[in-house]
Amino acid sequence: GQQLNQSPQSMFIQEGEDVSMNCTSSSIFNTWLWYKQDPGEGPVLLIALYKAGELTSNGRLTAQFGITRKDSFLNISASIPSDVGIYFCAGHSGGGADGLTFGKGTHLIIQP
């Protein structure tokens, strides 16, 4: 099946620092989504991208849909303690099974 390569696997940063993570794929996706998962909870949608080249912000979060449609990145500016969690990218190709393909996640840890 399709695979998404998400990096980095984990990040240890200081409060106030900016964060950047990305996902790449060998195949094209028509939709890119970024989710955050808190411990013991299900993933929650942060940003959805539907067009190649699209750049979308949600507060301190910014995500972009790569021009090639094979990658996406998520940036978090001025990190705060509540940003701690696991961030997942997910893609949808629009064909075959209707489910999303998920990356393995980036575990963000913020040191005070």
Q: By CB under 8 A, is residue 30 in contact with other proteins? A: yes
Selected from 36, 88, 108, 110, the binder of other proteins by CB under 8 A is: 88
Q: Show the beta-strand stretches assigned E in the chain.
A: 4-7, 10-14, 19-25, 31-37, 44-49, 55-58, 61-65, 71-76, 85-92, 101-102, 106-111
Smallest gap from Cβ 100 to other proteins, in A, equals 7
Show contacts with other proteins in window 41-60 (CB under 8 A): 41-45, 48, 50
Instruction: Please say whether the beta carbons of 69 and 52 come within 8 A.
Output: yes
Q: What is the binding site for other proteins (CB under 8 A)?
A: 1, 4, 6, 30-31, 33, 35, 40-45, 48, 50, 88, 90, 92, 94, 97-105
